[in-house]
Copies of this chain bind each other. A is one copy, B any other.
Amino acid sequence: MLTAEIISVGTELLMGQIVDTNAQYISQRLAEAGINQYFRATVGDNHDRLYDTIRTAVERADLVILTGGLGPTEDDLTKETAADVLGYGGDFILHEASLAAMERRFSHMHRVMTANNRKQAMFPKEAFIMPNANGTAPGCILEKEGKAVILLPGPPREMVPMFDESVMPYLLKRNQGKLYSRTLRIYGMGESAVEDRLRDMIDSQTNPTIAPYALTGETTLRVTARCRDDAEGEALVRPVIEAIRQRLGDVLYSTHGEQLHEVCARLLTAQGKTLAVAESFTGGLLASTLICVPGSSAWMLEGCVTYSNAAKERRLGVLPQTLAAHGAVSRETALEMARGMRGTSGADFALATTGIAGPDGGTPEKPVGLAYLALAYEGGEEVHELRLVGNRERIRGTGVLEALDMLRRRLENI
């Protein structure tokens, strides 16, 4: 079995200015690919220390994967240092296609490309270059005597797509296998409860494997088969997914990795229905999450962030006496917001949120975290009372997920 080591490069990592999510992401993908990892390192932007770290890793492992230090500045030394370790020296050549891509990118942004950016298009002539669709610095793979050093950019939104599109196929080819994965997403049951219910399956399964991943407020399982092709992979994972569904029930909301807002978008599109949202404590986050989905203009009519009472009355027709009698954070106000949003927008479904996100504004009767979600639709309406925990950001985020799950369950007639 192949072994790999990940080296994260950047003084900002050593200073603790950012958390290293890249290393975790790559580790997960390597585990899926059946590649062993025994060591991982983090090192600053310093030639000698980086050299020692890469050399040690190259001696121990088949694959060394580095993230960071590919940028235009003098601090960005990863490519030059890796080339030194492999004995390629400083004899770099210009990769014309990368330079052209970089120039197009700057020109499109109406920005002038400074001369130091050119450095990002310089590579040892032996390098296999990986284009960067989401940033300026291309990645590359340097091979020597059966070892490979793989250089990736540091920003996760550049690193992740490059890893998926260019590195993973390379790794699978080297490892002479293929992976077939399905991602299962769960809302409304915590990671430990899910693992309790699946413990025996998780422990006994070897192909496919079942790996839990915890994301913020949601639980995700990845079922991964090692296989010759997709058809064999699907045949291996399908019965396992069905067994998981039997155990978890309707908290399992997607077996294809969709997020809650994507499931809602798919169901609305399939049913030819439209949606409008009225938000108070979620403050635009619900609309913004729904609108993430490409093509959302087909079903998303509009949103109102009615933060003040005046806006709730004027935009949605919430009655002043309702606000006076029950307060803005109440079952009654939530329902009037949803009805008002549905009436003024003409949407088939209207979702409304009102709550206390904190840190201020809580009272003994209405503490921080109290929230009401309402859904109005043809022939019915419903309202949920929630007690959300955590800081302001967490309370708003969970409120959005709860609202989406409420809509999802209505659309699925659960």
Contact = CB atoms under 8 A, between A and B. Distances in A.
B21 A40 contact: no
Contacts of A255: none
Contact of A20 (B19, B287, B360): B19
A246 interface: no
A359 B23 CA distance: 28
A292 B393 contact: yes
Contact of A284 (B21, B49, B110, B287): B287
Nearest to A29: B16
Count this chain's copies in the assembly.
Answer: 2
Interface string A21-53: 101111111110000011111111010010001
A117 B39 contact: no
A355 to B, nearest CB: 12
Contacts of A199: 74
Contact of A392 (B42, B216, B294, B310): B294
Contact of A19 (B19, B41, B42): B19
Interface in A365-414: 369, 387, 389-394, 396
Interface in A5-24: 10-21, 23-24
B211 A12 contact: yes
Interface residues of A, number: 108
A291 interface: yes
Contact of A27 (B13, B39, B277): B13
B23 A20 contact: yes
Nearest to A135: B390
B27 A14 contact: yes
B303 A284 contact: yes
A322 B140 CA distance: 50
Interface string A81-115: 00000000000000000000000010011110010
Contacts of A301: 307-308, 310-311
A276 to B, nearest CB: 8
Given A16-B31, A284-B303, A301-B311, 20 more contacts: A10-B213, A13-B27, A14-B27, A14-B37, A14-B40, A20-B23, A39-B42, A75-B212, A105-B389, A109-B387, A114-B196, A282-B288, A283-B290, A284-B291, A297-B361, A300-B307, A302-B304, A303-B307, A304-B304, A304-B305
27 contacts: A14-B39, A16-B24, A16-B27, A16-B28, A16-B30, A19-B19, A19-B24, A20-B23, A38-B44, A38-B49, A41-B42, A71-B214, A105-B389, A109-B389, A110-B387, A134-B394, A282-B288, A284-B284, A285-B291, A294-B358, A294-B360, A295-B360, A301-B310, A302-B305, A303-B304, A303-B305, A311-B345
Across the A-B interface, the 6 shortest Cβ-Cβ residue pairs = A16-B27, A283-B291, A284-B287, A303-B305, A16-B28, A284-B284
